[in-house]
A and B are shown apart, each in its own frame.
Chain A
Amino acid sequence: QKEVEQNSGPLSVPEGAIASLNCTYSDRGSQSFFWYRQYSGKSPELIMSIYSNGDKEDGRFTAQLNKASQYVSLLIRDSQPSDSATYLCAVNPVLYSGYSTLTFGKGTMLLVSP
């Protein structure tokens, strides 16, 4: 069973702080990693994708990947109340060669207080 683990939270941070969201995965052969944001009652939307070890930055968001430790994280700098949502880590395991299939974690709820 391929698994993706996340702390369910909630993770509470004050406005302007850095929020750090973490994710571990069990399939060592996984090749693609994604962070989705889901507001309550809405559908998941992509925040970041990362495929190789290291950091990837996009605006206030930084994704970090360490394949040796099977660990992927998302940092949100200058957190805003509008960032309050559930963040889903998704991993593309090597199950169906060539096809995108995502295994999702259960998500971490982030609460940013004004």
Chain B
Amino acid sequence: DTAVSQTPKYLVTQMGNDKSIKCEQNLGHDTMYWYKQDSKKFLKIMFSYNNKELIINETVPNRFSPKSPDKAHLNLHINSLELGDSAVYFCASSQEGIQETQYFGPGTRLLVL
């Protein structure tokens, strides 16, 4: 009965490849997010979707393309992977509203070689 799940958990790939990370939440939340946590553990928001619509895009390179087929799913596709993309990517979800708690998935550890 995992609340926010991500696949895969680990992803090792070569520079230049294209990869996708999937996220699903079963909490009935309206809003989903992608965060990037770099090697210094700094957690920074990348995207936010509310009811399948993009509401936040924090100046992320356009090699990153989120897609939300429905409000329970938010996937992240990355084109032409670069070394600097190596990080842990967390998906999160919340109800709509500025006081709502965000619940995080387990993370996807991406290593670009």
Contact = CB atoms under 8 A, between A and B. Distances in A.
Q: Which 8 A-B pairs have the closest CB atoms?
A: A43-B104, A104-B43, A92-B98, A100-B100, A32-B99, A46-B101, A44-B104, A100-B94
A55 to B, nearest CB: 18
Main secondary structure of the interface of A (DSSP, over half): loop
A19 interface: no
Contact of A100 (B90, B102, B105, B106): B102
Interface of B: 31, 33, 40-45, 48, 50, 55-56, 90, 94, 96-107
A102 B48 CA distance: 11
Interface in A35-62: 38, 42-46, 49, 51
B48 A104 contact: no
B43 A44 contact: yes
Given A45-B104, A51-B99, A99 B55 contact: yes
B97 to A, nearest CB: 6
Contact of B101 (A34, A96, A99, A101): A34
B98 A99 contact: yes
B25 to A, nearest CB: 13
B104 A99 contact: no
